[in-house]
Amino acid sequence: MLKLTNVKKTFNPGSVNEKRALTGVNLELEEGDFVTVIGGNGAGKSTLLNMVSGVYPLDSGVIELGGVDVSRLSEPARAKYLGRVFQDPMMGTAADMQIDENLALARRRGKHRGLAWGISAAEKKEYPELLATLGLGLETRMTAKVGLLSGGQRQALTLLMATLTNPKLLLLDEHTAALDPKTAAKVLELTDKIVSERGLTTLMVTHNMNDAIRLGNRLIMMHNGNVIYDVRSEEKKRLTVSGLLQKFEEVSGGELANDRMLLS
Ligand SMILES: Nc1ncnc2c1ncn2[C@@H]1O[C@H](COP(=O)(O)OP(=O)(O)O)[C@@H](O)[C@H]1O
Ligand SMILES: [Mg+2]
């Protein structure tokens, strides 16, 4: 479903600020893979997701989505294949628009028709049912402006919007990190439910090692711009946090420098 071949990205090449963010990543995701991504600060996790979504042009390498080479496609051109949720709850939704309007925009993503034709009767029936699955009471607030919602409600809505059109690939970049622990747990539970029920191919960056072990069928660890550990299925189920830390030291030759990870 996703295939990266020797993907490289250096920021500010040739300057004092030169940073080799991805150093030749090879990664292949099967359809339905739910991959958790961990690694220290600056390991290249966000850059990996940004390269897949076309935020930055590739230096070299190939990115294929569902067998299609998207390496040269622009970010908007790739958007129809992807669902994305970022750390910041403000980013995925339009604050000045109503909940139903946000969902309707997500429904029309990658299509030419905008909201000018209005929200259809079918959608007016569908959206409350969808929102009810979140268990946050949003189904009774269809015409509320999204800016009035809490961070957690907004992130749950973003998740729903990102997965509304069953994307080929779902990219989650620490999407619960800005939420309080209880809300974060709730949004994570929703994530697991949506991803599992629909078998969505997913890359989820998290700084919580317990979550990384508990969720998904595969875990990758990044360090210095590359994947240094890739574990799946039964072997992944047997992982522990201390085992993971030990693995990190083994493969990176140093200790994990990520306070948030170690404290979680
Ligand atoms: N837009 C950018 N411009 C310059 N450097 C960047 C940019 N994005 C990321 N970097 C650098 O690339 C490296 C990897 O960053 P990032 O992928 O954000 O790491 P992570 O998400 O694993 O913490 C870091 O050294 C970071 O400073
Ligand atoms: Mg990051």
Ligand 1 atom closest to 47 (CA): 17
Number of residues in the chain: 264
Residue 221: in which H helix or E strand, if any?
A: strand 218-223
**Residue 190 confidence (pLDDT) above 60:** yes
Q: Compute, in angstroms, the gap from residue 242 CA to the centroid of ligand 2.
A: 22
Distance (Å, whole) CA 10 – CA 13: 6
Encoded amino acid at 154, one letter: R
Average of per-residue pLDDT across 218-233: 96
Write down the pLDDT at residue 80.
87
Look at residue 222 and give its three-state secondary structure.
strand
CA neighbor of 183 nearest in space, from 153, 159, 143, 210: 153
Q: Is 226 within 8 Å of 22 (Cβ atoms)?
A: yes
The residue whose C-alpha atom lies closest to atom 9 belonging to ligand 1 is: 47
Residues 172 and 153 in one domain: no
**Residue 259 confidence (pLDDT) above 80:** no
CB of 26 closer than 6 angstroms to any ligand 1 atom? no
CB of 44 closer than 6 angstroms to any ligand 1 atom? yes
**Residue 263 confidence (pLDDT) above 60:** no
Residues 171 and 75 in one domain: yes
Confidence band, pLDDT 50/70/90 cuts, at residue 249 = confident
Q: Spell out which residues have Cβ within 5 A of ligand 2, the ion.
A: 45-46
Average of per-residue pLDDT across 29-38: 97
Number of domains the chain is built from = 2
Spatial CB neighbours of 192, under 8 Å, sequence gap ≥ 6: 215
Q: Considering the domain boundaries, does residue 157 fall inside one?
A: yes
Residue found by looking up tokens 């339905």 in the block: 32
> Taking the C-alpha atoms of 99, 103, 105 and 111 in order, what is their torsion angle to the nearest 10 degrees?
-170
CB of 108 closer than 6 angstroms to any ligand 1 atom? no
For 157, the domain range is: 93-161
Residues 63 and 187 in one domain: yes
Average of per-residue pLDDT across 41-63: 97
CB of 120 closer than 6 angstroms to any ligand 1 atom? no
Out of 8, 9, 10, 11, give the residue to mutate to test ligand 1, the one with the largest number of ligand atoms within 8 Å of its CB.
11
Report which DSSP code applies to 12.
Answer: S
If one compares 51 and 135, the residue with the highest pLDDT of the two is: 51
The residue whose C-alpha atom lies closest to atom 19 belonging to ligand 1 is: 42
Write down the pLDDT at residue 71.
97
Residues 223 and 250 in one domain: yes
Q: Is 141 within 8 Å of 176 (Cβ atoms)?
A: no
Picking from 111, 127, 161, the residue at the C-terminal end of a domain is 161
**Residue 173 confidence (pLDDT) above 80:** yes
Q: Considering the domain boundaries, does residue 235 fall inside one?
A: yes
Residues 75 and 177 in one domain: yes
**Residue 116 confidence (pLDDT) above 90:** no
Look at residue 256 and give its three-state secondary structure.
coil
Distance (Å, whole) CA 183 – CA 189: 10
Q: Compute, in angstroms, the gap from residue 52 CA to the centroid of ligand 1.
A: 14
If one compares 9 and 254, the residue with the highest pLDDT of the two is: 9
Picking from 112, 129, 161, the residue at the C-terminal end of a domain is 161
Encoding tokens for residue 21? 């963010």
**Residue 258 confidence (pLDDT) above 70:** no
Assign residue 58 the CATH number of its domain.
3.40.50.300
Q: Considering the domain boundaries, does residue 87 fall inside one?
A: no
Q: What percent of the chain shows pLDDT beyond 90?
A: 83
Residues 184 and 255 in one domain: yes
Residues 157 and 171 in one domain: no
Q: Compute, in angstroms, the gap from residue 220 CA to the centroid of ligand 2.
A: 14
The residue whose C-alpha atom lies closest to atom 12 belonging to ligand 1 is: 21
Q: Compute, in angstroms, the gap from residue 159 CA to the centroid of ligand 1.
A: 24
Residues 179 and 98 in one domain: no
Residue found by looking up tokens 């604050």 in the block: 95
CA neighbor of 87 nearest in space, from 154, 166, 36, 160: 154
Residues 171 and 257 in one domain: yes
Encoding tokens for residue 253? 């030759």
Residues 126 and 236 in one domain: no
Question: What pLDDT, in 10s, does the model give residues 201-220?
Answer: 999 999 999 999 999 999 99
Write down the pLDDT at residue 248.
86
